Structure 1
């Protein structure tokens, strides 16, 4: 499927879908880290979520540090040079392509999203190394066939690829569909490819269930929490990279990582396709 974003008519139609009166998860994440790409509806949602679970303010920071550690591992230790980042964010600085290409300039990166504001933001700010193409493509993050078709112009799935599902599966409400996404994407990749994910936890902080309920009451894009056992099942058939599925702050922590007063209720893992 060709990405039609560059057509003026498509761009205008997508822009018309941006609703500033309803909270948007990407913009809420931006507001949580003090960004400027958000609106009052997003800031109101932040206040409501933080009132239910104060730890939500730490999640974007901890998740960002986890992503950066994962990408460094994949490039420096696993030898990966291709990344399929499904469901990106508004924060481009320090994102996948910057970290990967700082270590290996020939890394190829494809970002996938169907949020018009995320895509517009990404395309305005993306800059790649001369030897490593980077693309932000319009496809449904919950549609593996569309993802693979969009990525085919930049990535060679005959070579190992890292599939990043950073919070993406939190918006897939049933386990069967979430498992299908992982199986389909990993199944299309060659041996030696990796799947990395982080996901909000249902069994680390009871307040997260209250926050998730508040979010689902105000947004059409509902979120679900999952337990360690559920997430282990989603990665079935893949070989976990030590330390396995753990809270994101415990996955190969670095000395310069941000520190938190309480446990951040988000699981993270990296797994290799045998």
Structure 2
């Protein structure tokens, strides 16, 4: 069974979209783990399987949100960035990127990108910009970076000749190696001017016990019922920002990335099981 969204998606230049409710989608699973209601049976079934293998998953997604908010606050308050491109944004979960950024710099301009039309519909309905700034959302996929960068809504909201904060939060682990994830990130980074920043978070199995690793590995696939899930080691995650100017403390567990800043991290490395980093484009 599918549910179709009527009409073309405004501002993104995208065709009518189909929501496949029979297959789990990461954004809807994430919404379920955060206690949201924007999910379907397939999403809940898949999410529960993962939670059975890794009961801390809800803590992990909460810590990921905290990392996102610390990263955006750093970019806005300490760097002065006024433009943000959030790819793989997921369902709105306040405070969102524009709320954090515009609280610091009211004129901040934020573009959200997600490949799920249900996410885009909710984002447009719920995420309202400050009067001085801009907030918009388009349907597009990380696998097509040129399409994202050329989208009229992106061009209207973001001046790509000025520094941009690129956010790739908990999205890269849904790309398998054969989808050229490192090249995709490099293409996005190369399109941004010097002084731009990239912040990313990425799932890892590094701190987990062997039995949990075995269960999660068994659930991971490359297009099967559970979808692609490709956790990576610290060395592999660091490759995404290779050649850029790493911001202290570098590539670390998300709970150790400036944990004293608000909102403070509240879990262990194993509970979060994600790496985070930020780097400046030279």
Preserved contact between residue 98 and residue 135 of structure 2 (Cα < 8 Å): yes
User: Displacement of 1:186 after TM fit?
Assistant: 0.9
In 2, distance between residues paired with 1:69 and 1:135? 21
Preserved contact between residue 65 and residue 257 of structure 1 (Cα < 8 Å): yes
Once superposed, what is the RMSD of the aligned Cα atoms?
A: 2.0
Deviates more, 1:262-271 or 1:235-244: 262-271
- Pick one of 232, 235, 238 that aligns with 1:229: 235
SS of equivalent residue, structure 1 residue 196: strand
Preserved contact between residue 182 and residue 234 of structure 1 (Cα < 8 Å): yes
- Once the two structures are superposed, residues 40-69 of structure 1 have per-residue CA deviations (whole angstroms, 9 ceiling, x without a partner) of 222222221111111212121000000000
- TM-aligned CA distance change 1:208 to 1:67, over 3 Å: farther
Is 1:257 matched up with 2:260?
no
Residue 149 of structure 1 corresponds to 150
Residue 267 of structure 1 corresponds to 275
SS of equivalent residue, structure 1 residue 137: strand
List alignment gaps of at least 5 residues for structure 2.
1-7
TM-score, with normalisation over the residues of structure 1? 0.90
Is 1:193 matched up with 2:200?
no
In 2, distance between residues paired with 1:126 and 1:89? 12
User: Displacement of 1:175 after TM fit?
Assistant: 7.0
User: Displacement of 1:212 after TM fit?
Assistant: 4.9
TM-score, with normalisation over the residues of structure 2? 0.88
Residue 244 of structure 2 corresponds to 238
- Once the two structures are superposed, residues 95-152 of structure 1 have per-residue CA deviations (whole angstroms, 9 ceiling, x without a partner) of 1111100111110001111211111111111200112111101222221101111222
- TM-aligned CA distance change 1:220 to 1:229, over 3 Å: same
User: Displacement of 1:250 after TM fit?
Assistant: 0.5
> How many residues end up aligned between the 2 structures?
266
User: Displacement of 1:209 after TM fit?
Assistant: 5.4
Residue 111 of structure 1 corresponds to 112
Preserved contact between residue 202 and residue 209 of structure 1 (Cα < 8 Å): no
Preserved contact between residue 200 and residue 226 of structure 1 (Cα < 8 Å): yes
In 1, distance between residues paired with 2:136 and 2:262? 32
